[in-house]
Structure 1
Amino acid sequence: MNRTTWVYLGSYSLSLLGNGIASVLFPLLVLARTGDVLAAGVLASVTAAVAAIAGVLAGIVIDRVNRRTVSIISDVLSAASIAALPVVDALWGLDLTWFIALGVIGAFGDMPGMTARETMLPRLVRLQGGGPGALERLVGLRESLSAALMLIGPGVGGLLVWLMGVGAGTLLVTAGTSLAAALLSFAMTSRIGAIDADGDAPARGGVRGVLVDLVAGWRFLLGSRLVLGATVLTAVFVAAIAALQATILPAYFTAERLPELSGFAATGIALGSLFGAGIYAAASGRMRRRTWFVNGMIGTALGFAAIGTMAAPWAVLAASVFIGLANSPLSAVLGVATIEATPDPLRGRVLGAQNALMLAAPALTSAPFAALAAGAGLTAAGLGIAALVVLSAVVSLSVPAFRTLDTISPDAAQED
């Protein structure tokens, strides 16, 4: 890997680290200043909704402006939204309105930055002169870093709270990680964020141009069976995991009088993902993508089925690790397929729409499965989630779109 690749990965890691710390710090700060659990829930809902909208709209900007520039501005916005908290607290005092306002600013930084970095991957591979399998290795490495930082980020956040409390010092350290990510991005060549110019370039001018651009992105997403299939499949996994983590597993471990283990299920998925992505990065190019896909689908379905039975706490934790191990290479394959199948001038809009759908997906499953658990029991809800994943696996293994994973081209995707 060349210098630009290392800088890219460093900036990506710092940005994710800041998000991980903030995920621990922000709810604690809201509770400390408002004393209201409902306020924390309102803030989470509002910022998630804004992030989904920002993801869709940011795709247009990402397809018009140098993508490195977008990632830098996004990290600066994220840093500013966190750094402003102690200033506002000292001058006027923080309340729910201020939390929502600054949370919205942060949401407009996080989602566009994540999408912009994702769109830069193919050009990064070209700049480093990558051969066959280079994109797979880079995506696998990114997945490994993401899984590792899912473990490290919240832990660092908890450590900072323990050492310095929920105060200005902790907030400034958190803001500093996003600012460092922005500064590090300046060390990357601007060529990494350049956009290939062709007939799919976004339209210019006013509201009508924005609407035309949005329609073009969604038309491609809905018209490409491969990209649409990858989007739906990933959304199902995200929604299923969210339903488990938000309600089913905490209730299960509480019923087993082991509430302290509920957090270890999420840790198990992250730990399995770390190893799974590492294996994929090391072995990519030696095995067909279709083989990775089939193994990942079968393994993920088996893992959810094992959790769904709620046989024993140790079995649930082991199945969590197995889900991460199987699903991480699968997610990497779907990510590479989406990137390769989407023309570069459309990539920001398509990936932005995908990321927005990933944010919205949990809202469709968490409440229904919680209601099923309340009415029919935890095992019924667990088996219901397992049935959703198994059905998705059976369908995905039989549809033609996922049989072309090893022979992808943007032109072919547009003809689906």
Structure 2
Amino acid sequence: MAAGRAAPLTTTVPAGRTAVGPPRRLPLLAVEAATLLSGTANGVTSVVLPWLVLERGGGAAGAGLVAAATALPLVLTAVLAGVVVDRVGRRRVSVVSDVVSAAAVAAIPLLELATGGLGLGSVVALAALGALLDPAGVTAREAMLPEAAAAARLPLSRVNGVHEAVWGAAFFIGPAVGGVLIGLVGAVPALWATTGAFVLSAVVVALVRVPGGGRPESRAESSAGAVRRVLADTAEGIAVLRADRLVRCAAAVAVLVSATYLPISAVLLPVLFEQQDAPGRLGLLLLVMSGGWVLGSLLQGAVGHRLPRSLVLRVATVGASLALVPFVALPPYPVLLGCGALAGLLFGPINPLVNLAFQRRVPSHLRGRVLGIVASGAYAAGPVGHLAAGLLVDGTGLRTAFAVFVGAVVVAALSVLVLRPLRELDDLPDGEETPVASPVAVGPVLPEPRTPAAR
């Protein structure tokens, strides 16, 4: 081992030791079903709530306030979400997260009936409440994947590919379903379908016993001691990021991609098509990009194991960024569709590979808090990038804004080429090994430096 390099946090059973008994696919199916249901429900609300505000005369500022109300809790709670997952239990956190979201969404039509009409403040407050535990729910389900994959006797790379494809499907199914429901029954009644999806997600996870999803060993402590322990747990997660070079680099890839790409899809493209008065074109382009993401994720799970993972990650990241370069010229729509499809296809393998690094190098009992810390970085990067993109469009124009953000994506992607620890991806096991909690000491004994996933 090279001098100065931290010992890897081994999280798998030695080769040859696999789970006993027949394969159990139900736990994995439950995790993925809950991911699809919860993700689709959130996608529906992302369309329905702003539409509801616009219907009530809240204007674009009101719709933006609702969007901010759903984003702010993600930034504030994501960093602690992983600690909650590790201490309370993955299955329990997933269920509670969906129940809280269902209650907040159902409160809107119920209060509508009781009061005759909700004000903007009430909608904003309920939107914030519904989003409050979303990071914990997402982290809980993702933390259950390795054990569910081991129970199903499936390689983690394949499971990660399927998981990201499910996320991609939820991303474009949700808004589409929301738009259809608004047209069929109206914005307020559409929220009952969202409530049902959240409840069904909670029921699926509650009824299926996912390995590693139960309640961890309880600790009796005072409230002050609990607060200190939460802070100490968060510090442990940060220590893992500082100690393991591969985990640190994987986190950096996740956050850099989120910070530079999301403002393009969430701000610049909507501005472009609003100027053209062509919302249908925006929807089709995002649908094509999401479809490419789903296909890329599935291909990574199916055939990615035949190629060096570090090579796939580098080619995918750089290739996806270069596919966005023609956007700077604001080309004809067919060119945008082609480039968007290619970018989505190449973005597809990135998250499955990043997830594999976390799953194989982070001890099981620390996995939730590490995922939560990385997610908080990605959630925080999004709003900052969105604000910068909006200011840049107003100050310099749309073409310049595209040039700046596409250039940032390319620079971030090229940085992947020099992250040498990513070569350690090629050495990670990818069989049916069951991840275990390594008794690795984390804290002051770990080396110093440090650096930053999506959804």
TM-score, length-scaled by structure 2: 0.82
Change (3 A) 1:206 1:5: closer
Deviates more, 1:361-370 or 1:140-149: 361-370
Q: What residue in structure 1 maps to residue 127 of structure 2?
A: 103
User: Out of 297, 320, 323, which is 1:303 matched to?
Assistant: 323
Q: Work out whether 1:182 is the aligned partner of 2:202.
A: yes
Change (3 A) 1:127 1:338: same
Q: What residue in structure 2 maps to residue 406 of structure 1?
A: 426
CA distance in 2, matches of 1:412, 1:207: 21
- For residues 68-91 of structure 1, the C-alpha deviation after alignment (integer angstroms, 9 at most, x for no partner) is 111111111111111111122222
Note the C-alpha offset of 1:328. Answer: 0.9
Unaligned runs of 5+ in 2: 1-23, 218-222, 430-437, 450-455
Change (3 A) 1:257 1:106: closer
Aligned pairs for 1:181-330 (under 5 A) are 181-194=201-214, 205-254=225-274, 258=278, 260-330=280-350
CA distance in 1, matches of 2:356, 2:233: 23
- State the one-letter code of the partner of 1:378: L
User: Out of 128, 142, 158, which is 2:152 matched to?
Assistant: 128
Deviates more, 1:139-148 or 1:374-383: 374-383
- For residues 298-352 of structure 1, the C-alpha deviation after alignment (integer angstroms, 9 at most, x for no partner) is 3112112232333333222211111110011122111211222221111111111
Unaligned runs of 5+ in 1: 198-202
CA distance in 2, matches of 1:157, 1:68: 28
CA distance in 2, matches of 1:374, 1:157: 30
Deviates more, 1:283-292 or 1:375-384: 375-384
**Residues 79 and 175, structure 1, Cα contact 8 Å, conserved in 2:** yes
- Name the SS for the 1:189 alignment partner: coil
- Name the SS for the 2:409 alignment partner: helix
Change (3 A) 1:251 1:6: closer
**Residues 120 and 192, structure 1, Cα contact 8 Å, conserved in 2:** yes
Change (3 A) 1:387 1:144: same
- State the one-letter code of the partner of 1:94: L
- Name the SS for the 1:205 alignment partner: helix
- State the one-letter code of the partner of 2:71: A
Q: Name whichever structure is richer in helix by fraction.
A: 1
CA distance in 1, matches of 2:210, 2:391: 50
CA distance in 1, matches of 2:337, 2:262: 16
Aligned pairs for 1:130-145 (under 5 A) are 130=154, 134-145=155-166
Q: What residue in structure 1 maps to residue 143 of structure 2?
A: 119
CA distance in 1, matches of 2:182, 2:274: 26
CA distance in 1, matches of 2:224, 2:157: 34
CA distance in 2, matches of 1:195, 1:50: 25
Change (3 A) 1:312 1:412: farther
Note the C-alpha offset of 1:182. Answer: 0.8
Q: What residue in structure 1 maps to residue 107 of structure 2?
A: 84
Note the C-alpha offset of 1:124. Answer: 0.8
- For residues 179-222 of structure 1, the C-alpha deviation after alignment (integer angstroms, 9 at most, x for no partner) is 0111111231153414788xxxxx99332112111222223224
Q: What residue in structure 2 maps to residue 383 of structure 1?
A: 403
**Residues 27 and 210, structure 2, Cα contact 8 Å, conserved in 1:** no
- State the one-letter code of the partner of 2:77: A
Change (3 A) 1:184 1:204: farther
- For residues 43-62 of structure 1, the C-alpha deviation after alignment (integer angstroms, 9 at most, x for no partner) is 22132111222222221110
**Residues 253 and 313, structure 1, Cα contact 8 Å, conserved in 2:** no
- For residues 143-170 of structure 1, the C-alpha deviation after alignment (integer angstroms, 9 at most, x for no partner) is 1122222222211111111111122x32
Change (3 A) 1:260 1:176: closer
Change (3 A) 1:312 1:236: farther
CA distance in 2, matches of 1:145, 1:309: 32
Note the C-alpha offset of 1:289. Answer: 1.0
**Residues 95 and 205, structure 2, Cα contact 8 Å, conserved in 1:** yes
Q: Work out whether 1:30 is the aligned partner of 2:53.
A: yes
Change (3 A) 1:23 1:344: same
User: Out of 60, 67, 88, which is 2:83 matched to?
Assistant: 60
Q: Work out whether 1:336 is the aligned partner of 2:360.
A: no
CA distance in 2, matches of 1:33, 1:63: 42
Deviates more, 1:13-22 or 1:302-311: 302-311
- State the one-letter code of the partner of 1:268: V
Deviates more, 1:93-102 or 1:269-278: 93-102
**Residues 127 and 192, structure 1, Cα contact 8 Å, conserved in 2:** no
Change (3 A) 1:144 1:190: closer
- State the one-letter code of the partner of 1:177: A
Deviates more, 1:15-24 or 1:253-262: 253-262
**Residues 54 and 107, structure 1, Cα contact 8 Å, conserved in 2:** no
CA distance in 2, matches of 1:69, 1:48: 23
CA distance in 1, matches of 2:158, 2:232: 35
Change (3 A) 1:254 1:170: closer
CA distance in 1, matches of 2:229, 2:279: 52
CA distance in 1, matches of 2:308, 2:231: 39
Residues paired across the two proteins, number? 407
CA distance in 1, matches of 2:187, 2:403: 40
CA distance in 2, matches of 1:37, 1:251: 13
- State the one-letter code of the partner of 2:139: T
- State the one-letter code of the partner of 1:147: G
**Residues 97 and 137, structure 2, Cα contact 8 Å, conserved in 1:** yes
Change (3 A) 1:78 1:259: closer
Note the C-alpha offset of 1:257. Answer: 6.4
CA distance in 1, matches of 2:50, 2:329: 32
**Residues 34 and 95, structure 1, Cα contact 8 Å, conserved in 2:** no
- State the one-letter code of the partner of 1:139: N
